[in-house]
A and B are shown apart, each in its own frame.
Chain A
Amino acid sequence: MDLENQKRVKEFADEYGAENLVVVLGAAEGEASGLAAETVTAGDPTFAGPLTGVQLGLKVYHVCEPEMKEEFDEEVYDEQISMMEMVLDVDDIINEMTAIRDEFCKF
């Protein structure tokens, strides 16, 4: 994850409390989703950014996961995102995200 974005995530966790945050991702692949999710839960796996060694354990979802979709206004989702379900490997994304959440999510 971009270093500046990591810095902002860390600042928001300090400001609002990790339990009040939800991170929503739009990554193009399962693996990239998993890496981003790992960064905001267990720390930056590439050891490059401000979240290296910081275990925030934030709640994190990919925008195409059913848990998210369920909460959105259907019409808005259809207009903004639905087409991408035909493009992305949603099952792979769900698997990666679920694995990371099960292991590292604290909330």
Chain B
Amino acid sequence: MAILDGKKAIIIGDRDGIPGPAIAECVKTAGAEVVFSSTECFV
């Protein structure tokens, strides 16, 4: 069973890893609705 299809996705990206908007682009293609996308910064 698909993990993302039909689900609400919360995205916590990382400035020094993968930023939120880049993850959102991918998650959308898997049929999830992005309800929140943020990018954290530890430095």
Q: Which residues of A contact B (CB under 8 A)?
A: 1-2, 5, 8-9, 12, 16, 20-29, 32, 36, 40, 58-59, 61, 63-64, 67-68, 71-73, 76-77, 80-81, 84, 88
In the complex, what distance in Å separates the CA atom of A25 from the CA atom of B20? 8
Bound form: Cα–Cα A25–B22 in Å:
11
Interface residues of B in 16-31 (CB under 8 A from A): 16-20, 22-23, 25-27, 29-31
CB–CB A71/B30 < 8 A: yes
Docked complex Cα distance between A67 and B19 (Å): 19
Contact flags (1/0) for B27-43 with A, using CB distance below 8 Å? 10111100110111010
Q: What are the residues of chain A within 8 A of B10 when measuring CB–CB?
A: 8-9, 12, 21-24, 40, 58
Contact B40 A1 (CB under 8 A): yes
Pair B25/A76 contact, Cβ less than 8 Å: yes
Binding site for A on B (CB under 8 A): 2-5, 7-14, 16-20, 22-23, 25-27, 29-32, 35-36, 38-40, 42
Residues of chain A within 8 A (CB-CB) of B2 are 71
Q: A26 contacts B9, CB within 8 Å? A: no
Residue of B nearest to A87 (CB): B17
Pairwise interchain contact A80-B17, C-beta atoms closer than 8 A: no
Nearest chain A residue, comparing its CB with the CB of B2: A71
Contacts known (A22-B10, A71-B3); A80 close to B25, Cβ less than 8 A: yes
